[in-house]
Amino acid sequence: MTFRTLQGADLKGKTALVRVDFNVPMENGQVQDDTRLRSALPTIDLLSKAGAKVVLLAHFDRPKGKRVPEMSLKPVLDPLSALTRKPIKWADDCIGETAKAVIDAMKPGDVALLENLRYHTGEEKNDPAFAAELAKLGDIYVNDAFSAAHRAHASTEGLAKLLPAYPGLSMERELSALDAALGNPQRPVLGIVGGSKVSTKLDLLKNLVTRLDKLAIGGGMANTFLYAQGHDVGASYCEKDLAETAREIIRLAGQNNCKLFLPIDIVVAEQMAKGVPTRVRALGSIDEHERILDAGPETVARLKRAMANSKTLIWNGPLGVFEIPPFDKGTVEAAKEAARLAKAGELVAVAGGGDTVSAMHHAGVADDLTFISTAGGAFLEWMEGKELPGVEALKI
């Protein structure tokens, strides 16, 4: 991929329109988690110190083209100001005279936040006229919102075609990590895909078995594969109607020399509740009332050996119901081994997707992996091999 980079660019005196993702968890008008605000700080700081006016564009929730007061971005101002240690100017609209007046009054190095892009229907429709109105406000465009890059909206795709376009530092870091995991990885490459449903990850599995050397399948989705191979899964969650699809993926893996790892032992219980009695079972030896809720110790031990014999790991989805101990054991053990190898410089370990991020935090290894993507849908679509409009629009 070839992009312009902000490092070394002539930024002094320019107005930079910076697409950020400030769609943060909010409760009673208070930001509950400022992770996404923090991720924008390096780009804001670079632009500000280079003497650019920094104009932040973002969406919040789904107001569907209407001004919904509880979906205003204004509550973000104070937390962002505290993080940047400077006042953040505010515009009550993202286009027109209201936005222009605020930007005109800015000095080089100042930072402003414009109101929710989605108050205008043109944003999600990628309306060229709306993109043109945004473009009037700036000299350059910077996309620092990888998490919104899978959407072809006016502020993620349309605007990039109207101004000189750059990835922000957070976007650059994400693209670099993803390239190292799946674009041009060190081999062998091991993938771990977990979670509950095969149906939501069909495109992902079909893409990965053609690109990876090894793929481990865990979580509830592994039950469907076990069932497809003729194993009894008791009362476990299982998409039995997808058995033939699972067999097709197994065949596809074989055709592409991708070694598939399915559970070889399982942890079962009659209830999915904290502290209930559990049993380790061999495949096929499960009572009708029992449910498979975690990977067994032999399965985890084999997965750890596979990690040790790999150079790159890409991970999406837990191995069991990690939210409810003791069914977190498999995920935690495997995550700790990935972190150990990554810290030792023996493994490039990249993880992403909502449940995966939570699982890595639960295991206490979020800071020890090579990279964790918080991008959710964009990360999944990238793993599925799909082009992301917001990334494609930045290419030169």
CA quadruple 286, 246, 180, 386: dihedral, nearest 10: -140
Q: What's the distance, CA 386 to chain centroid?
A: 14
Residue 221 is encoded by which pair of tokens?
A: 């989705």
Residue 151 is encoded by which pair of tokens?
A: 């959407």
Please tell me the distance from the alpha carbon of residue 364 to that of residue 75, in angstroms, as a whole number. Answer: 30
Beta-carbon neighbour count of residue 345 at 10 Å?
8
Please tell me the distance from the alpha carbon of residue 298 to that of residue 321, in angstroms, as a whole number. Answer: 18
Catalytically active residues are 36, 197, 354, 377
In terms of DSSP bridges, do strands 26-27 and 30-31 run parallel, antiparallel, or are they unpaired?
antiparallel
Q: Is residue 164 reached through a cis peptide bond, with omega within 30 degrees of 0 on the bond before it? A: no
> CA gyration radius for the chain?
23
Residue 302 is encoded by which pair of tokens?
A: 């084999």
Please tell me the distance from the alpha carbon of residue 45 to that of residue 128, in angstroms, as a whole number. Answer: 30
3 state SS of 127? coil
Please tell me the distance from the alpha carbon of residue 327 to that of residue 296, in angstroms, as a whole number. Answer: 10
Provide the β-strand partners of residue 343.
none
In terms of DSSP bridges, do strands 214-217 and 259-261 run parallel, antiparallel, or are they unpaired?
parallel
Task: Report CA-CA distances (Å) from 98 to 47, 71, 105.
Answer: 23, 19, 11
CB-based contacts of 314: which residues, under 8 Å, 6+ apart? 181, 182, 189, 190, 191, 192, 212, 350, 351, 383
Task: Report CA-CA distances (Å) from 278 to 183, 262, 302, 327.
Answer: 41, 20, 21, 9
290 burial type by CB count under 10 A (0-12 exposed, 13-18 middle, 19+ buried)? buried
